[in-house]
């Protein structure tokens, strides 16, 4: 059986590098594409020089010609701090990047998996969120570049499927955490851990009663690989349905690192969703997937990762 050749866009990023590890360990070939806006070369450094691994510095908003069997399209800044830094570039990455990757998939007959997001649901009016929910998104807000960008990326995928019979898989990723997150990405898990390790008060936005569901990265990658390998197009929610308030997360991080830390409250950012929890019945029935790693267990290796990163920066 021929070894599969995989292209991972955003392959040096948080999720992309974990996916790279899994595919390389499985004996497959990996071409890692990244422009290093949020990706870091050290995330995939151990594979550099391996005969089955290739690293290419490239921006997906520009076309590229490669021969591959599968395209894992993960390229796009996913944290508010990074995608709001240059919102026009974020929108271009979602639209042009997906357009270019779908064009490549069509030319070479590859299957493409789009890493979409729970942000397509916006600030949801129904809870929890099933795949059938069409969302409540502000088209002109500060988060729109990402939320609407991913929505049009999904649209492109399904139009390529209908017009050109391109093989697509669409995965809606809910909050994911784990080693290799960036310390400055502005996401709530990394914010709390970094603040706690530095002995700073933990910042709650609003009253901290807004909810999120946190999926450990190993579980997420398992779901991603199962979706790529199955016959289901999607969209499919992949996330942990166990719901926590932001305050509960802060208390858990504080307990693990420094129980004496204080909380401070700041105003809630514009369009920040009040609730986020996936319905994963489809992932469970079609993929046989459900998360296995509880938040309290996944936080330990994540905290150790941030400890080592902060030590390096001293």
How far CA 94 is from CA of 47, 55, 131, 143, 254, in Å, comes to 27, 21, 20, 13, 36
Residue 28 in tokens: 């497959």
Q: Are strands 111-117 and 70-73 parallel, antiparallel or unpaired?
A: parallel
User: Which residue has tokens 């995989």?
Assistant: 6
Distance between CA atoms of 114 and 72, rounded to whole angstroms? 7
Torsion of Cα atoms, 76 then 78 then 80 then 82, to 10°: -50
The catalytically annotated residue of 146, 160, 177, 216 is: 146
Residue 99 in tokens: 């357009």
Known active-site residue 83: no
> What's the maximum distance between 2 C-alpha atoms anywhere in the chain?
59
Strand runs labelled E in the chain: 5-9, 29-34, 53-57, 70-73, 111-117, 168-173, 176-177, 202-205, 211-213, 215-216, 236-238, 243-245, 263-266
Q: How far is the first Cα of the chain from the last one, in angstroms, to the nearest whole number? A: 49
Residue 229 in tokens: 């390998």
Q: Sign of dihedral through CA atoms 32, 35, 40, 45?
A: positive
Distance between CA atoms of 250 and 208, rounded to whole angstroms? 9
Q: Residue ranges of the alpha helices (H) in 126-216?
A: 144-164, 188-197
Catalytic residue IDs: 146
């Amino acid at each position: 059986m021929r070894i599969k050749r995989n292209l991972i866009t955003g392959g040096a990023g948080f999720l992309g590098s974990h996916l790279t590890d899994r595919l390389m360990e499985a004996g497959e070939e990996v071409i890692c594409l990244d422009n290093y806006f949020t990706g870091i070369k050290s995330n995939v450094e151990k594979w550099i020089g391996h005969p089955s691994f290739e690293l290419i510095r490239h921006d997906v908003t520009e076309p590229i010609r490669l021969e591959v069997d599968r395209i894992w399209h993960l390229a796009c800044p996913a944290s508010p701090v990074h995608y709001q830094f240059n919102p026009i570039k974020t929108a271009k990455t979602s639209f042009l990047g997906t357009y270019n990757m779908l064009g490549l998939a069509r030319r070479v007959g590859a299957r493409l998996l789009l890493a979409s997001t729970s942000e397509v649901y916006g600030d949801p009016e129904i809870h929890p969120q099933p795949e059938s929910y069409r969302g409540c998104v502000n088209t002109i807000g500060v988060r729109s570049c990402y939320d609407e960008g991913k929505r049009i990326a999904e649209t492109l995928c399904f139009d390529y499927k209908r017009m050109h019979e391109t093989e697509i898989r669409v995965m809606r990723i809910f909050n994911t955490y784990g080693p290799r997150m960036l310390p400055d990405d502005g996401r709530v898990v990394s914010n709390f851990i970094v603040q706690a390790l530095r002995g700073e008060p933990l910042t709650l936005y609003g009253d901290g009663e807004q909810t999120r569901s946190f999926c450990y990265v190993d579980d997420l990658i398992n779901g991603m690989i199962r979706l790529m390998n199955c016959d289901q197009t999607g969209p499919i929610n992949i996330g942990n349905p166990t719901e926590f308030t932001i305050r509960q997360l802060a208390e858990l991080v504080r307990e693990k690192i420094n129980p004496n830390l204080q909380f401070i409250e700041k105003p809630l950012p514009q369009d920040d969703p009040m609730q986020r929890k996936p319905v994963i019945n489809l992932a469970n029935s079609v993929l046989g997937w459900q998360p296995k790693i509880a938040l309290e267990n996944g936080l330990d290796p994540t905290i150790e990762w941030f400890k080592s990163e902060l030590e390096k920066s001293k």
